[in-house]
Amino acid sequence: MSSNIRVGDLSVNRLGFGAMRVCGPDIWGPPKDRPNAHRVLRRAIELGVNFIDTADSYGPHVDEDLIAEALHPYPKGLVIATKGGLLRPRASAWNPDGRPAHLKRALDGSLKRLKLDRIDLYQLHAPDAKVPFADSVGALADGQRAGKIRHIGVSNVSVAQLEEARRICTIVSVQNEYNLEDRSSEDVLKACERLGIAFLPWYPLGAGNVLKKDKIKSIAKKFQTTPAQIALAWLLSKSPAMLPIPGTASIAHLEENVAAAALALSDQDFAALN
């Protein structure tokens, strides 16, 4: 397994697991093969993964239920990061709801489903344009004061929003889209490096699309490895703040992804991808 990274006062392996893909198709409803979802989650732990990302909106609720079914009582040192602030009225909708009353209910629901007294990392899934951002972050700060949240993170934010959140409470992580093909959050990544907080790139494999790019395929061929491993090794080389959370419902892909943490790209290969 890879080196460690700090998430607040916690230390985790630098390659995490994004559990979103173990739900049903379109991240909606239960998986077709529930025992397989359990096996994938358990295999992640066997491979040394000790950071799992989920959200109440995955399923909705299904993902958190699957994690508790597969892994509770949790192994020592496992950090489960969940998120609140998005509603799923139907499979195609991911609607922000950043009202404090909703976030309070969402937090209580996640605690119950995950069978936890306190969530190690609770993230605001996305700012809600209809609600002052400070009110949403303030609701998480209230949850922390109530002892229900250990650390607070934010997701899908700009640098200005990160700064605003940091004026309200301590923020230990940001989760934004970032991969070889989408670097629109480069400024947020740099801010995380400067501030010494973790950056969790979502879609680290571009939801699979990055793997089709010729430049990745050719470097993968040179290393006799796979495009997914190159994409992840590039992220890990890119920044010490990076904590990738690749997702999969396949044990073979999980094993492949975790092994990427041991791959060292040369400066030349890194530059060719950059």
Ligand X SMILES: NC(=O)c1ccc[n+]([C@@H]2O[C@H](COP(=O)([O-])OP(=O)(O)OC[C@H]3O[C@@H](n4cnc5c(N)ncnc54)[C@H](OP(=O)(O)O)[C@@H]3O)[C@@H](O)[C@H]2O)c1
Stretch that binds ligand X, among 135-143, 181-189, 191-199, 247-255 (CB under 6 A): 247-255
Cα–Cα distance for residue pair 14/64, rounded to 1 Å = 22
Q: Shortest gap between Cβ of 239 and ligand X (angstroms)?
A: 17
Of 167-196, binders to ligand X (CB under 6 A) are: 175
Nearer to ligand X, 66 or 211 (CB): 211
Q: Which of 113, 2, 115 has the alpha carbon at shortest distance from 50? A: 2
Q: Verify binding: residue 204, ligand X, rule CB under 6 A.
A: yes
Q: Tell which one of 205, 216, 236, 242 touches ligand X (CB under 6 A).
A: 205
Q: Would you call 58 a catalytic residue per the annotation?
A: yes
Number of chain positions touching ligand X (CB under 6 A)? 28
Could you say which of 111, 257, 259, 261 contacts ligand X (CB under 6 A)? 257
Other CB atoms within a 10 A radius of the CB of residue 225 amount to: 16
Under rule CB under 6 A, residue 57 binds ligand X: no
Is 155 one of the binding residues for ligand X (CB under 6 A)?
yes
If one asks whether residue 161 binds ligand X (CB under 6 A), the answer comes out as: no
Buried/exposed 184-218: b ≥16 CB within 10 Å, e otherwise: ebeebbebbeebebbbbbbbbbbeeebbebeebee
Which CB atom, from 18 or from 127, has the smaller least distance to ligand X?
A: 18
CB of 83 to ligand X, least distance (A): 6
Pairwise CA distance, residues 245 & 9, whole Å: 19
Question: Does the footprint of ligand X cover residue 110 (CB under 6 A)?
Answer: no
Q: Which long-range contacts (C-beta less than 8 Å, at least 24 apart) are formed by 99-105?
A: 99/128, 99/131, 99/135, 99/136, 100/131, 100/135, 100/136, 100/138, 100/139, 100/142, 103/136, 103/139, 103/140, 103/143, 104/139, 104/142, 104/143
43 token code pair: 């295999």
Residue 50 in the binding site for ligand X (CB under 6 A): no
The DSSP call for residue 72 is P
**Site residues for ligand X per CB under 6 A:** 18-21, 53, 125, 155-156, 175, 202-208, 211, 226, 228, 245-250, 253, 256-257
Active site residues: 58
